[in-house]
Amino acid sequence: MTQSNKTLGESLREHGISRRGFLKFCAATASMMALPPSLIPSIAAALEKARRPSVIWLSFQECTGCTESLTRSHSPTIEDLILDTISLDYHHTLQAASGDAAEAARTEAMKANHGQYLLIVDGSLPGPDSNPGYSTIAGHSNYDILMECVEGAAAVIAVGTCASFGGLPAADPNPTGAVSVMDLVKDKPVVNVSGCPPVPMVISGVLAHYLTFAQLPELDQYHRPKAFFGQSIHDRCYRRPFYDKGLFAETFDDAGARAGWCLYRLGCKGPSTYNACATMRWNSGTSWPIESGHPCLGCSEPRFWDAGGFYNPLSVPTTTSGGTLLAAGVTGAIVGGAVAALARKQVKAEEADRQPVTVDELEQKL
Amino acid sequence: MSRLRGIPIQVDRHTDPVHERGNALPILHEVRHALERLIATGEGTQIDLNAIPFGPGDVDRLTAILGTGEVSATIQALGPTLIQETAIPGVWLVDYHNSEGERLAYHIEIATTPRILGAQPEDLATSIDALDARLQSGSGDQRQAS
Amino acid sequence: MNDPMDFLLWTKGPAFEWAVAIFAFGLLVRVLEIFIIGRRPNFAEPRAGEWGPGLRTVLTRSIADGGTFQRAPFNVVVGWIWHIGFLIALLLFIPHLELIKSLFGFAWPGLPNPIVDLVTAVTLVALVATLVHRLTHPVKKRISTFEDFLVWGITFLVVLTGYLAYHRLINPYPLALGLHILSAEIFLILLPFTKLTHIFTAVIARWYNGASFGRRGVAS
Amino acid sequence: MSELTLERGLAALRAEVDGPVAAFFSSCVHCGICATACPFYVETGDPKYTPILKVEPLRRVWSSEFTLWGRLMSTLGLTKKVTDEMLAEWEELVYDSCSMCGRCSLVCPVGNDIQAMVRKTREGMVASGHAPEGLIAASVRAVQTGSPMGLQWKTLQVQIEHVQSSTGLEVPVDKQGVDYLAMLSSMEVINFPEYLEAITKIFHRAGVTWTLSTECFEATNAGIQIGNKDVAALLVQRIVDAAVKLGVKTVISPECGHAFTAIRWEGPNLIGKPYPFEVVHIIELLDQLRASGRLKTEGKESDRLSMHDPCNLARKSGVIDQQRNLVNLVAENFVDLKEHGKFQWCCGAGGGVSSNERADAIKMAAFKRKKAQIEEVSPERMVTMCATCRTQLEEGLEEFNMDIPVVGLTEMIADHLVEK
């Protein structure tokens, strides 16, 4: 895993790849980055000069779903090219080395590429105030490892909702005190590629962008690349016309569901979820949740685990307040009853104590 | 992964004409604008069909409407790229696949010739060297070429 | 609560619970204040019963008499438009019906979104017109209080944020939806303590009116 | 010596708060539609005459003392208080510019009975010493002399004798055991003596047994107009005593609006128990006689007639069809005003406005609504059945140089009785 100083263009030509092949690579890259084809020439020019960066991948409190997703990215040739082009110097799951050797590789890469390498993180980690014992690697707390690696990183890419927002480990009541990467990293650029897991093409798309332009893509307020997270599922959903017409499936097996109507009433979180599923799709572009008839869970949004039932429509409160309502009603009845009874007593008293108006008193006013 | 395509996912659709066209309609209008531009200025356009939120079957409907034209070509570079002229001259379907047959990108290109189809100037620079090399190396390659 | 999704979940969770609690408490107090004071016995021999005429007035008072319509056409027409519009948007918009179903366990069929959308737009325009009327008509100017503008503001805000959220004109959407839910919650909280109470007490007031006139033989 | 104070006024207002008041104030949305129902606002265009604004003193007491929210706010000193200055300012609104006609109560979209609340507010005004002089004087005279105009029985006696000599019929006085006790109003006795003659003739033809009472002939109730229960109860009690003493089955309220409201609807509540007799308005009785065939008429008036419904009779007491039945009996060219019956417009003089000299100008301004209504149908004569309305119509029509005579319905019926 030595670093090559060749540009991508040089490296591709060395592999005997024609200009057509290169253009095709660029077309695929543009598509992956969700950029319009009109940018292919500039992508080509940039890629021609791109150099392979060093990447360190840290996995904390996670389920490896994000790595699974990345390795299932549906354009292996291009992916290979990109992975060939980057230098993945440390990845728990994928690397061959283990134990001290693995940790040594990491330290070495960090030293050699100080200030240059990309740090990818999947999984959330126990915050600085939590018990570090919830998650350690080689005896070091996640927090210490993250801080050590961040120090020399050019940028941090948080892959998955756990790394981006805390995700499942941070779900109420958050026993491990899990926090997201951006909660801890304030002095380095952080890109969040949220999703549980993220769309595989989105992970590689962000890498491709960095590779192509040597800078991070434009981000939204959650530090997510706008190219992928700029529009909601709802806005790009092919079932949107049914929503607009008010045609909804009400159960999973009714005529509306079979006719492919909108899944809002079955709990679809598409309106409040920003992700690229509707265009990128899953499983080699085969389909995506809504196309397969299931409402969007909103997995790329913060706290989606705590946002009420997956099958409750978006407009339904997360707390069913029957108890509160009853308690408030009873209190209201007691207080209201008391106040009103007092008022009634007062009226009676005023009536009883009322001093009659006499003619003499009236005459005084004349 | 290509086996996934074998899973018969089918969604019932209304059969009225508006539903039939789905999201294909706006793309057709975009193609029309691009054609006008091509005629007026000679400027070509590429539309990335992967970036369009199509519903099931929309792409098939789109290509069915565009029809099949006279030219079809296959480029073998990093896997096959299938080029098909549509029944509308100047409108091409360019389908990029990897060597495992999976689609990398799918474009509609509005141009006299798809850009990727013509010989590339960057490659031309090495053409004479390549030909010279073959001339010098004897007849073996020439036989192959004939 | 430093991001839109947190905000949305706050409005859908704790804020909703508080709003409903304050609403239930306040409304019960208000209604009991009316019923417990009650009425004194009436010894005058009635011409008719009270229940029938009372209920009649509860219904008929929604329609202005011809003369009032002629003299206050704006009040009558615009008042009707925005009240009906508000009720349609509140009670026949599918997402609202899902909320109702989740709270009460039942709901009724809704209207297609484009119709509710149109009605909402009309309601917004009508509400603006009522504000202009309140600011310019001499009677309304004279009798208006801070409360009138507060209530107008929150009513308008509820409809406006709903409209903006539906059209996704505020980004990100969780912020838009959260603002809508929050304004609806403020509406609920204000309801028992402002003239919004009329939503519930107008029925009682009309009944008393109808009963009082009815026992004297007048269909009020 | 005791006197009327703000505190007594507030106490009186508190004693008036009840469920309906709470419901009404809770429901008011400040839409201002009540103003369009009020002749005083419609004809002056001055927004201070908006009906709901007139009951602001009562609203403040209710809001700050009878609601949880108001109590909290007044604890913090954030509520507006009712002061003597305020009541002084409101005196004009509650008395001069309100005839308690009740039209606002009929159009309020949320159903507020504003008229009833004006009546309640007047209790506080009187007890705090903020009633108009004219009404105070009328009340004092009514209590002291038995008539708000200071009319004595001996004056009535002269009229009785006159009626007896001109008709040859007996006007029964203090007769025990008859069916009806007829009451009169001072204004009628003074301005429209034809009434007594008319009922004498009608009752004779119809075979109605009736009497006047020397102990109490005055039907009007200054206490109702000024808005004081004590005076009102005292005056009602006199009628009840007279009726009980004579043992009549029914008391007849004369051609006067508020007298009917006072005796028929408020009276039993003022004395705190039901009457042992019935109360009818003369028009109700005449219609009953017509329906039972005891009232026979001949001939019809041929000129174009229209009718003014007294508020207290029509809108506030449900006597609406009766006067139309009767007028159609004797007129062939009767046309109703466009808004009539329960939606009629007040003449502008009721509710004590006519007893309050200070209100003369605005009273005449409010009449313009009636004038406009009359002009719409341009009748040759107006018919009505309330002495106050009739006086106001006559004065108003004269003021605007309209040559339209006003007649009382009872006299008109009497003029067409079939001669025996």
**C-alpha distance from C101 to closest chain A C-alpha (Å):** 9
CATH number reported for the structural domain that contains residue A143 in this entry: 3.40.50.700
| D247 and D324 both lie in a single domain | no
Q: For testing the chain B interface, which of A17, A72, A77, A239 should be mutated: the one with the most B CBs within 10 Å?
A: A77
Is residue D201 domain-shared with residue D249, that is, in the same domain? yes
Structure tokens at C181: 């839910």
Q: What is the pLDDT of residues B50-73, one digit of tens each?
A: 888 888 788 888 889 999 999 999
**B touches D (3+ CB pairs < 8 Å)?**
no
- Point out which residues pair with B80 in neighbouring strands: B76
Residue of A246, A318, A327 lying closest to C111 (CB–CB): A246
Which residues, 6 or more positions from D106, have their beta carbon under 8 angstroms from its beta carbon? C65, C213, C220, D37, D315, D342, D343
Residue A341 included in any domain? no
Specify if A317 maps to a domain. Answer: no
CA pair distance C52, B108, nearest whole angstrom:
73
Chain A: nearest CA to C13, how far in angstroms?
Answer: 5
Inside any domain, residue C50: no
**One domain for residues D284 and D302:** no
D1 contacts A353? CB cut-off 8 A: no
Which value, in Å, is the radius of gyration of the alpha carbons in chain C? 20
Residue C209 belongs to domain spanning: 4-36+69-215
Contact A163, A37 (CB under 8 A): no
Do D273 and D330 lie in one domain? The reply is no
Same domain? For A161 and A296 the reply is no
Whole-number CA gyration radius for chain B: 20
Task: Evaluate whether A306 touches A319 at the Cβ level (below 8 Å).
Answer: no
C38 has a chain A CB within 8 A of its CB = yes
Each domain of chain B, given as residue ranges in start order, spans 2-138
> Measured between alpha carbons, how far is A313 from A234 in angstroms, rounded to an integer?
14
The residue of chain A with its CA nearest to that of B124 is: A19
Q: Do the domain assignments include residue A52?
A: yes
D88 in reach of chain C (CB within 8 A)? no
- Domain assignment of residue D185, given as a range: 145-290
Domain identity same for D163 and D261 = yes
DSSP letter string, A6-57: -BHHHHHHHTT--HHHHHHHHHHHHHHTT--GGGHHHHHHHHHH-BPPEEEE
Candidate from C26, C39, C137 with C-beta closest to D32: C137
* Under 8 Å between Cβ of D132 and D95: yes
Q: Which of C26, C111, C113 sits opposite A332 (nearest CB)?
A: C26
Q: For residue B18, what pLDDT is reported?
A: 44
CB contact under 8 A, C172 and A274: yes
Record: contact C65-D343, CB cut-off 8 A:
yes
Question: What pLDDT, on the 0 to 100 scale, is given for residue B100?
Answer: 74
pLDDT of residue B15: 47
> Is residue C47, in this structure, part of any structural domain at all?
no
A99 and A201 in a single domain? The answer is yes
pLDDT at C2: 66
Q: Which residues of C touch D273 (CB under 8 A)?
A: 43
The pLDDT value recorded for residue B19 is 47
Determine whether C84 is exposed, middle or buried from the number of CB atoms within 10 Å of its CB (0-12, 13-18, 19+). Answer: middle
Taking residue A209's Cβ as centre, other Cβ atoms within 10 Å add up to 25
Question: How distant is the Cα of C184 from the closest Cα of chain D, in angstroms?
Answer: 19
Provide the CATH number for the domain around residue C98: 1.20.950.20
Query: A212 and A98 share a domain?
Result: yes
Instruction: Convert the pLDDT of each residue in C20-30 to its tens digit.
Output: 889 988 998 89
Q: Are residues D153 and D280 in the same domain?
A: yes
| B45 SS3 class | strand
A96 lies in the same domain as A188: yes
Q: Which residues of A touch D66 (CB under 8 A)?
A: 343, 346
Task: Give which of A266, A155, A262 is closest to A213, Cα–Cα.
Answer: A155
Q: Flag whether D61 is in a domain.
A: yes
* Amino acid A60: pLDDT: 93
Selected residues 67-106 of chain C with any CB under 8 Å from a CB in chain A: 94-96, 98-99, 102-103
Asked if D96 and D168 sit in the same domain, the reply is no
pLDDT in tens, chain D (420 residues): 588 999 999 999 999 999 999 999 999 999 999 999 999 999 999 999 999 999 999 999 999 998 888 888 989 988 889 999 999 999 999 999 999 999 999 999 999 999 999 999 999 999 999 999 999 999 999 999 999 998 999 999 999 999 999 999 999 999 998 999 999 999 888 889 899 999 999 999 999 999 999 999 999 999 999 999 999 999 999 999 999 999 999 999 999 999 999 999 999 999 999 999 999 999 999 999 999 999 999 999 999 999 999 999 999 999 999 999 999 999 999 999 999 999 999 999 999 999 999 999 999 999 999 999 999 999 999 999 999 999 999 999 999 999 999 999 999 999 999 876
Beta-strand pair D210-211/A87-91: unpaired
State residue C103's pLDDT score.
85
Are A259 and B13 a contacting pair at CB < 8 A?
Answer: yes
Question: How many residues are listed for chain B in this entry?
Answer: 146
Give the three-class secondary structure for B80: strand
- Say if C177 falls within a structural domain: yes
User: Does the distance separating the beta carbons of C210 and D317 come in below 8 Å?
Assistant: no
The structure tokens listed for A80 are 């290979």
Is D79 in a helix, a strand, or coil?
Answer: coil
Same domain? For A166 and A203 the reply is yes
**CA-CA distance, D233 to D142, in Å (whole number)?**
12
Which conformational region is residue A314 in: left (phi greater than 0), alpha (psi within -120 to 50 degrees), or beta? Answer: alpha
Check CB contact under 8 Å for B120 and A258. no
Q: Is the minimum CB–CB distance between A315 and chain D shorter than 8 Å?
A: no
Q: What is the ipTM of this complex?
A: 0.85
> Which residues touch B88 (CB under 8 Å, ≥6 apart)?
B31, B35, B66, B67, B69
Residue ranges of chain A with per-residue pLDDT less than 70: 1-6, 15, 72-86, 320-322
The dihedral through the CA atoms of A163, A169, A174, A176 has a sign that is negative
Residue C218 in tokens: 């007048």
Where do we find the tokens 């069913």? A320
Contact C27 A343 (CB under 8 A): no
Contact (CB, 8 A) for B91 and B110: yes
Contact A75 B50 (CB under 8 A): no
Contact: C142, D50; criterion CB under 8 Å: yes
| Chain A residue nearest residue D145, CA to CA | A359
Q: Could you tell me which of C208, C33, B140, C89 has the C-alpha nearest to residue D114?
A: C208
- Please compute the mean of the pLDDT values over residues B102-126 and round it to a whole number: 86
- Quick one: A99 and A159 in the same domain? yes
Q: Does residue A360 lie within any of the structural domains?
A: no
A42 lies in which domain range? 8-229
Asked if A247 and A220 sit in the same domain, the reply is: no
- Strand, coil or helix: D168: coil
Task: Count up the domains in chain C and report the number.
Answer: 1
Where residue D337 sits, what CATH number does that domain have? 3.40.50
User: Which of A265, A288, A306 marks a domain boundary?
Assistant: A306
Q: Within a domain: residue A115? A: yes
Looking at residue A2, its pLDDT comes to: 40
A140 and A14 inside one domain: yes
**Crossing angle of helices D114-127 and D19-27, rounded to 10°:** 110
| Amino acid identity at C209 | N
pLDDT at C211 over 50: yes
Q: A312 at the C interface (CB within 8 A)?
A: yes
Decide which of 3.40.50.300, 3.60.21.10, 3.30.1370.140, 3.30.365.10 is the CATH code for B2-138. 3.30.1370.140
- D111 and C57 Cβ atoms separated by less than 8 Å: yes
* Residue D1, min C-alpha distance to chain A (Å): 9
Q: What percent of chain C clears pLDDT 70, i.e. is strictly above it?
A: 99
- D326 and D252, same structural domain? no
The pLDDT of residue B17 is above 50: no
**Burial zone of B135 (CB within 10 Å; 0-12 exposed, 13-18 middle, 19+ buried):** exposed
* C32 in any annotated domain: yes
The tokens describing A315, both together, are 């407009």
State whether residue C43 is helix, strand or coil.
Answer: coil
At residue D420, the pLDDT reads 65
CB C122 within 8 A of CB C85: yes
Residue C197 pLDDT > 50: yes
To which residue do tokens 């008041």 refer? D21
Does the CB of D119 have a partner CB in chain C at under 8 Å?
no
Q: How many domains does one find in chain A?
A: 2
CB within 8 Å: A272 and C5: yes
Chains that touch A (3 or more CB pairs under 8 A): B, C, D
Q: Is pLDDT at C148 greater than 90 in this prediction?
A: yes
In a 3-state reduction of DSSP, which class is residue A313? coil
Tell me, yes or no, whether D403 lies in a domain.
Answer: yes
Residues A68 and A17 both lie in one domain: yes
Domain boundary among the residues D107, D131, D155 is at: D131
The count of domains in chain D is 3
- Between vectors from CA C80 to CA C74 and to CA C82, what angle results, nearest 5°? 95
Contact B115 A279 (CB under 8 A): no
Of D131, D157, D190, the domain-final residue? D131
Chain D positions in Cβ-Cβ contact with residue C67 (cut-off 8 Å) = 338-339, 343
Residue-by-residue DSSP string for A219-270: B-TTS-BHHHHSSBHHHH-TTHHHHHHT-B--STTSHHHHTT-B-GGGT--G
* Contacts of A4 by beta carbon, 8 Å cutoff, 6+ apart: A11, A51, A52, A87
Which residues, in sequence order, are CB contacts of D15 under 8 Å at separation 6+? A347, A350, A351, A354, D123
The residues, any chain, with a CB within 8 Å of residue C153's CB and separated by 6 or more, are none
Residue identified by tokens 């079809």 is: B72
pLDDT at D163: 94
Please list, in sequence order, all residues whose beta carbon lies within 8 angstroms of the beta carbon of residue A251, skipping any fewer than 6 positions away: A257, A266
Q: Which residues of chain A neighbour B95 with C-beta distances below 8 Å?
A: none
C208 within 8 A of D19, measured Cβ to Cβ: yes
Distance of CA A118 to the CA centre of its chain: 19
Are residues D224 and D268 part of one domain? yes
CATH code at position A294: 4.10.480.10
Question: What does the alpha-carbon distance between residue A277 and residue B105 come to, in Å, rounded to a whole number?
Answer: 16
Task: Find out whether B84 and B97 touch, Cβ atoms under 8 Å.
Answer: no
- CA dist list (Å): C128 to A21, A161, C136, C167: 61, 43, 12, 19
Tens of pLDDT, residues C7-51: 999 999 999 988 988 998 899 889 998 998 889 899 999 999 999
pLDDT value for B4: 53
Q: What is the rounded CA–CA span in Å between residue C201 and residue C195?
A: 9
List, in sequence order, every residue forming a beta bridge with B92; answer none if it has no partner: B85, B109
Find which of D107, D118, D369, D376 to mutate to test the C interface (most C CBs within 10 Å of its CB).
Answer: D107
Residues D285 and D150 in one domain: yes
D51, part of any domain: yes
A77:B99 CB<8 A = yes
Structure tokens at B61: 């409907």
- The reply to whether A27 and A123 lie within a common domain is yes
pTM for the structure as a whole: 0.87
